[in-house]
Structure 1
Amino acid sequence: MKRVIYLLLGLAMLAACTDGTPEKPTITVTIEPLRYFAEQIGGDRFDVVTMVPNGASPETYEPTAQQMAALAKSELYIKAGNLGFERTWMKRLGANAQHLIVVDSSEGIEPLQVSKGSAADPHTWTSPANALRIAHNICKAMSRIDSKDSAYFRANLDSLTWKIIDLDAKISAKTDECTNRSFIIYHPALTYFARDYRLEQMAIEANGHEPSAASLAKLIDSARKKGTRIMFVQKEFANRNTGVVAKETNVKTIEINPLSYDWEAELLKIADALCTK
């Protein structure tokens, strides 16, 4: 009899620990900025996980076996659009989780070439104007898999929209005061940012490849003539050529992280670096 009582008490305690609350659906995104947008819109309705971890390159990262297995729990995959990771892995990810709904967060954004004849820049999220479209696409995708909460998602989208508009106003105010409107960057991640704020991005890398000696010399000469003062570097793309350019142009080197979850702060940091006198 005592044994039965203990068993019943144990079951009651287990029930108290697992209060019947169902697990939240999981959404997977490629990079941390997309997790920011997804969590802003999805609120407490989803768990959002990122495939490419902070500090890894979205051009070369390979998912772990654990990530591939965990993907089976996701209902939705939100991709940036055309990152190297996505070009290499999306078909395999889809084959591994055939139920998965895949959404391109950059749908409707006009792709920009880094330079004439080059590939389009996949870093669409570095533009507040593009972020409005990305947020809209994510909201639409969430409503597709959870229609009962669509009004909740739209309300969160409205709040995020005002945040993005405010960010754009702050960056515009800063960049309007820039006396020098050019910057050097190794990996050209700021094409859309430069377009939005009438800046000139001077990329060292070309189509994912090391520059030739001639193109490097041309960039250095151009930076000197323009009086370029800033060079942005990303630790995922550390390269000896950045040191050569910094030495030859006497620019200030600033580390940035366009893959940061703290998307707003990172874009403000970039604007501050460019326009601080």
Structure 2
Amino acid sequence: MYKKLSLLCALTLVLFASCSMTKGGTKRTVVVTIEPLRYFVEAIAGNRFNVKTMVPNGGNPETYEPTAQQMVDLSHSDLYIKVGGIGFETTWMKRIKANAPHTLFIDSSDGIIPIESSYGVPDPHTWMSCLNATVIAQNIYKALLQIDKQDSLYYKANLETLLAKIEDTNSQIRENLSKSKVSSFLIYHPVLTYYASEYNLHQIYIEDEGREPSAAQIKEIITSAKAKQVRVLFMQKEFSNRNSETIANAVGAQVVDFNPLDYNWHKEMIKVSQSLK
């Protein structure tokens, strides 16, 4: 009789714990700044954590303001993984840290040599490079070990799978670019600086550090693009404007919609190289 009661109690406790886990009550949280970082974290963390993004797809990481609910979620997080120096972070990081005093903060770009803009400002778009992506992945793996050593082998296996995916992405990009006769491209916001550096491409940007080009600069951009036989202008929806259309029409370049903030990091990386074929 007592054994049956004990067994019943034990089963009840297990069922209660199981229900709590399915409701997400015991699952820990990792917060990231942008969707590509969520891609990397989920690839390594698997089902061990809930991963939440501060700047949603479609949001501008230079001007986005977090919601009240996001700040509440952040206060309960175990780990925050930031890009390193993107506009949202430079504006909000002090307040974010004050709101989450028990959260571990990690810079995913740690160890990456920054490329500076023409104004001497480090380019923050570090994730747009396969070489950098391997560093970012390893930084995320080390961060997860700091808050959960118990699952280290699980994270290690996932890391190796992700690194293989990054290498496959790199191989596809190089294969596509080997078929291209043009090594230069136009882009409104210079988000492909690291990409261009890695694959020996020339990025001709229209806007830099939020500064719109003057009439003289637009003329110079058009002259340079024509000389380099540019055929593609990469455009982010949030930056679409008349200057871009004017330049694309003058050069005869095809406008390609491009989203460096998309969750599917590998698809956007490959899309760039496919557009240059």
TM-score under structure 1 length normalisation: 0.91
Q: Is the 8 A contact 2:128 2:192 kept in 1?
A: yes
Aligned counterpart in structure 1 of residue 29 of structure 2, from 26, 31, 40 = 26
Provide the residue aligned with 1:9 in structure 2: none
Corresponding residue of 1:53: 56
Confirm or deny: 8 A CA contact 1:118 1:207 kept in the other structure: no
Note the alpha carbon deviations across 1:90-124, whole angstroms, 9 max, x for none.
1000011111111000000000124x444221111
Alignment of 1:159 with 2:161, yes or no, is yes
Q: Is the 8 A contact 1:29 1:35 kept in 2?
A: yes
Specify the code of the residue in structure 2 equivalent to 1:224: K
Of residues 106, 110, 118, the one that matches 2:109 is 106
Alpha-carbon distance between aligned partners in 2 of 1:138 and 1:209, rounded to the nearest angstrom = 33
Q: CA deviation at 1:88?
A: 0.2
Would you say 1:40 and 2:43 are equivalent positions? yes
Q: Which amino acid aligns with 2:75?
A: A
**Contact 1:118 1:206 survives alignment (8 Å):** no
Matched residues, percent identical? 49
What is the rounded CA distance, in whole Å, between the counterparts of 2:96 and 2:242 in structure 1?
A: 34
Does 2:52 match 1:70?
A: no
> Distance in 2 between the 1:64 and 1:177 partners?
45
What letter is aligned with 2:158? N
Distance 2:128 2:20 in 1: 41
Give distance in 1, aligned partners of 2:119 and 2:17: 60
Match of residue 95 from structure 1: 98
Partner of 2:202: 200
Change (3 A) 1:153 1:207: same
Which moves more between the two structures, 214-223 or 31-40? 214-223
Calculate the aligned-residue CA RMSD, in Å: 1.7
Q: What one-letter code is carried by the residue in structure 1 that aligns with 2:257?
A: E
Aligned equivalents of 1:252, 1:35: Cα separation in 2:
31
Q: Distance in 1 between matches of 2:18 and 2:119?
A: 58
2:20–2:26 contact (8 Å) kept in structure 1: no
1:246 is aligned, of 245, 248, 255, to 248
CA contact (8 A) 1:182 1:200 kept: yes
CA separation of 1:52/1:20 partners in 2, compared to 1, >3 Å: closer, same or farther?
Answer: closer
Q: CA shift at 1:211, angstroms?
A: 1.1
Aligned amino acid, residue 142 of structure 2 = K
Give the Cα separation in 2 of the matches to 1:81 and 1:20: 35
Partner of 2:132: 130
Specify which of 268, 271, 277 is matched with residue 270 of structure 2: 268
Residue identity matched to 2:185: F
- Aligned-partner Cα distance in 1 for 2:152–2:216: 54
Equivalent pairs, count: 263
In 1, the alpha carbon distance for the partners of 2:33 and 2:208 equals 23
Q: Once the 2 structures are TM-superposed, how far is the Cα of residue 256 of structure 1 from its aligned partner?
A: 0.3
Conserved in 2, the CA contact under 8 Å of 1:43 and 1:156? yes
Secondary structure of residue in 2 paired with 1:67:
helix
Structure 1, gaps ≥5 residues long: 1-11
Distance in 2 of aligned mates of 1:179 and 1:35: 35
| Alignment correspondent of 1:186 | 188
Name the CA distance, whole Å, in 1 between partners of 2:111 and 2:75. 28
**Residue 226 (1) aligns with residue 228 (2):** yes
- Match for residue 4 of structure 1? none
The CA deviation at 1:18 is 5.6
